[in-house]
Structure formats: C-alpha cells, structure tokens
C-alpha cells in the first residue's frame, strides 16, 4: 500500500557556546510547537551524557516538558539507552508520561551507552557490559508496560497496562534483527552511521515476524536535513553540522557554531573525508532538490518515515528548513506505508 511519507524530528537539544541549557531547551519547545503546526508526526529527543554542547541527558524530563507545551504531536525518546537504566524505572517514567499525555508518548530504545566508559562508571553501569543482554532488558521493560501476569511480584505503577509503543533504534544489525524478530518498528541512526543503513534495514526485513504491533515491517531513519530557499544557502548552513562533526572527531566540545562561507582551512583532507562520511546521507538543498533527494532515499531504503536532524545555528533557519521539508514531503510517496 502506498502513501505519503511521514516526517518527524529527532532533537539532540544542541547548545551554542556559553549558552545556558535553559535557552537550548526553550528553543526545543519552540521548534516542537512549530513542527506540530506543520503536521509532523512525532518529536523525539535523544539521550547523551557528559557531552559538552548537548542538553539532552534527562530525556524523560524533556519529553514531559515538550509534551506539556504541545497538544497533538507524538513526543518520545530517540532513544532511551536501555543498558544505562533499570527497566522498571523506565517503565515507571514512561508510564507516568503516558498517563499524563495519553496516546502521545513513544518509547524508542537503544543499546548503545550514549557516553564513554568513565561516564558509564559514574552512572553505576556495568562497564563490562557489551549490550548482549539488550533483548532481555527489552523483554523485561515491555513486561512491566503490559498486562499483569500471574505470579508477577514487581509492578510498574504507573506503567502497567499502558503498553507504551516501543520502537527499537540502532546503528548496526543487532537491534535491526531483534526488532524484526519481535515485530516492532525499527529506526536506524543514519544521521551519523549512514554506511550501515542498507544492510541493517535488509536484515530487519528478513528477520521480521508479524506481531500484535505490526503486520509488516515499519522502517524509519534519522537523516540530516538542511533545507533553504536556495541551494547556495543550504550549503552554507550545512557548515554548522560539518563543524560539529569536525569537533566530535577532534574530541572537542560540539556546541553549535555559526555557518561559514567555506570550510577550507578549517579541516585537513582526512578530517574532511571523515566528516563527509558521517553526513553521507544528508539531504541538503532547496524545496525541489530536497523532494528529489527524499524520494530517492525513500525508494532506495524503503522508508516509511524520516526523522529529520536539523542542526542550524539560527533558529529561524531551522524553522524554515522544517517548513520546506514539510512542503517537499507532501509529494514524496512510499510504497508500503503501514501505521506505526
């Protein structure tokens, strides 16, 4: 069955140099309200820890804040890094959110730490964990969110019976296969690991088993998107995320920096190649170009939904980019759209 592409937002709550976290969070709320008016499907917030330049460490708190200042858009995690948390605590948090905002909360789950080993140790996480217990953690969490079972001793109050919708996230094949086996939606982090997206989505579809959640696969992908009124302006705005990834590979703070006319002189050849690899699936251009790139990517990967990651320095540029994306997506068709 064909249909229009669904578009959503993945927000890392980026900060500018010397900016207070509250200002970045206020910008996130403003953005969520804007894309809600544009008809976006969902607004997801990431989880990262001890990374200068990102204000998204307390993901469930941010979700509640954004949901409380919007009215119709779905709000959720992209995602909660489950090995960092006790499944019961996650069930209680998202059960509370679902009780406050019925029918609007999503629970995206990942198995990466979202931090380094020192930070994992500070979070009291077993640093020897490889993520291999992720399937057991997912099963435990879903059990707390479902109907009570005979003999069950531990319950999530609130949470039990809410059946908060779960999506598995990943940047490799592990979560892709698990999502397929469980019959859950799968979202791939192509906004930073584009080289693995095609084999992961193929594995997801091969592994898929129909479930009470889905009759057939539902594939999503995070994609960098920078749309502007002209091609030249979009390329200039792209230098902000380029500078962020450059700082990341240099192990520097990744605050948002103003766009520059040229990256020449800011990176060497090896750094340029590394940054361009990270942004290999970036959709950049004016409305017509964005539509063409979106349709090509959707056709190639069989996507049902795109989670746009738009890092611009000026808020007006970000809002304009999401507006152009909404216009472009109206003419993008999927071949097997299924309700998620």
Q: Report CA 256 to chain centroid distance, whole Å.
A: 18
Q: Are 81 and 60 in contact (CB under 8 A)?
A: no
Residue 88 lies in a domain: yes
Cβ atoms of residues 301 and 335 within 8 Å? no
Question: Distance (Å, rounded) from C-alpha 158 to C-alpha 88?
Answer: 11
Residues in CB range of 192: below 8 A, 6 or more apart: 171, 222, 245, 278
CA 150 to chain centre: 36
**Domain CATH code at residue 177:** 3.20.20.30
Residue 30 lies in a domain: yes
Task: Report how far residue 223's alpha carbon sits from residue 280's, in angstroms, rounded to the nearest whole number.
Answer: 9
Q: Is the dihedral of CA 148, 59, 36, 192 positive or negative?
A: negative
> Does residue 339 lie in a domain region?
no
| pLDDT of amino acid 6 | 97
* pLDDT tens by residue, 127-177: 566 668 899 999 999 999 999 999 999 999 999 999 999 999 999 999 999
Provide the pLDDT for residue 339.
38
- Does residue 32 lie within any of the structural domains? yes
Nearest to 321 by CA among 225, 177, 194, 238: 225
Residues of the chain with pLDDT under 50: 1, 337-340
Instruction: Find out whether 159 and 189 touch, Cβ atoms under 8 Å.
Output: no
Which range marks the domain in which residue 82 is found?
A: 3-334
What gap in Å lies between CA 324 and CA 288, rounded to an integer? 9
Q: Is residue 40 part of a domain?
A: yes
What's the CA gap between 308 and 329, in Å, rounded?
Answer: 11
Paired with 166 in beta bridges are 107
The answer as to whether 240 is a domain residue is yes
What pTM, to 2 d.p., does this model score? Answer: 0.94
Q: How many domains does the chain have?
A: 1
Residue holding tokens 């009470």?
Answer: 212
Peptide bond into 158 cis (omega under 30): yes
Whether residue 55 is contained in a domain is answered as yes
Please tell me the predicted confidence (pLDDT) of residue 118: 74
Alpha carbon distance 258, 156 (integer Å):
45
List all residues 6 or more positions away from 193 whose beta carbon is below 8 Å from its beta carbon.
Answer: 171, 172, 278
Domain contains 84: yes
């Amino acid at each position: 069955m064909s249909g229009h592409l669904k578009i959503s937002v993945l927000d890392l709550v980026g900060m500018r140099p010397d900016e207070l976290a509250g200002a970045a969070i206020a910008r996130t709320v403003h953005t969520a309200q804007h894309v809600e008016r544009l008809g976006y499907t969902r607004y997801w917030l990431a989880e990262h820890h001890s990374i200068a330049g990102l204000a998204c460490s307390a993901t469930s708190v941010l979700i509640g804040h954004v949901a409380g200042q919007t009215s119709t858009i779905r709000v959720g995690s992209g995602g909660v890094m489950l090995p960092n948390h006790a499944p019961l605590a996650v069930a209680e948090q998202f059960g509370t959110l679902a009780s406050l905002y019925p029918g609007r909360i999503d629970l995206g789950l990942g198995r990466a730490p979202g931090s380094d080993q020192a930070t994992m140790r500070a979070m009291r996480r077993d640093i020897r964990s490889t993520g291999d217990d992720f399937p057991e953690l997912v099963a435990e969490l879903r059990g707390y969110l479902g109907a009570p079972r005979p003999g069950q001793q531990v319950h999530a109050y609130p949470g039990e019976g809410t059946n908060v919708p779960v999506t598995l996230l990943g940047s490799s094949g592990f979560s892709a296969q698990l999502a397929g086996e469980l019959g859950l939606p799968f979202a791939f982090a192509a906004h930073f690991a584009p080289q693995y997206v095609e084999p992961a989505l193929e594995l997801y579809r091969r592994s898929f088993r129909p479930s009470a959640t889905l009759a057939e696969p539902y594939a999503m992908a995070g994609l960098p998107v920078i749309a502007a009124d002209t091609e030249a302006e979009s390329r200039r705005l792209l230098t902000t995320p380029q500078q962020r990834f450059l700082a990341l590979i240099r192990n520097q703070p990744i605050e948002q920096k103003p766009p520059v006319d040229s990256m020449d002189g800011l990176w060497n050849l090896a750094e340029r190649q590394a940054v361009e690899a990270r942004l290999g699936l970036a959709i950049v251009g004016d409305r017509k170009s964005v539509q063409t790139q979106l349709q090509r990517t959707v056709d190639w990967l069989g996507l049902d939904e795109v989670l746009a990651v738009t890092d611009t320095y000026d808020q007006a540029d970000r809002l304009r980019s999401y507006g152009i994306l909404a216009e472009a997506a109206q003419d993008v068709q999927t071949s097997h759209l299924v309700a998620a």
